[in-house]
Amino acid sequence: MDETYPDALLRDVLKRTKTIAVVGVSANPVRPSYFVARYLTLKGFSVIPVNPVYAGQVLFGHTTVASLAEIETPVDMVDIFRRSDAVPEIVDKALEHLPGLGTIWMQIGVSHPDAAAKARARGITVIQNRCPKIEYQRLFGELRMGGFNTGIISSKL
């Protein structure tokens, strides 16, 4: 399922978000979940790593927790780096344990219409099959600064 999201919505979500719980984060720096979480940290977001494999290990300035139920601070967004079939349980835990949650964001290739509908029914913004790093770069001009997406061919191979 590929949904279309207005740029204004994505921009608003990224501007209002301060703390992101990244579910399925890896400590391996070549894994997408690691470099997305690291990038978000470098952009000023507080990133809480969630992965039982790395529980207790410090990543991005926070101690990794095994589950969303262990998070004791307010979370604005849950970013899901897990297979689509894992999404319903993650959404249920987020709705149960994270009061004040504003957004559930599912990474590229991850979607679950029923879990998304359940979260939306509770007033949560849901983004599916997108990457907050890519959207941040696109919406706040960083892709252009890197020479990408400018529409200008500067060299030919």
Structure tokens at 49: 């790593």
Helix, strand, coil: what percent of the chain each, to 5? 40, 15, 45
Average model confidence (pLDDT) for the chain?
91
pLDDT at residue 152 above 50? no
CA 34 → CA 8, 108, 112, 113, 146, distances in Å? Answer: 27, 15, 23, 26, 20
| pLDDT tens digits for range 37-83 | 999 999 999 999 999 999 999 999 999 999 999 999 999 999 999 99
> Looking at 3-12, 63-72, 146-155, which range is the least confident one?
146-155
- As beta bridge partners, residue 106 has 80
pLDDT at 150: 45
pLDDT at residue 105 above 60? yes
User: Given the structure tokens 């969303």, which residue do they identify?
Assistant: 68
The DSSP call for residue 63 is E
Banded pLDDT at 140 (limits 50, 70, 90): confident
How many angstroms separate the first and last alpha carbons of the chain? 36
> Looking at 3-12, 117-126, 139-148, which range is the least confident one?
139-148
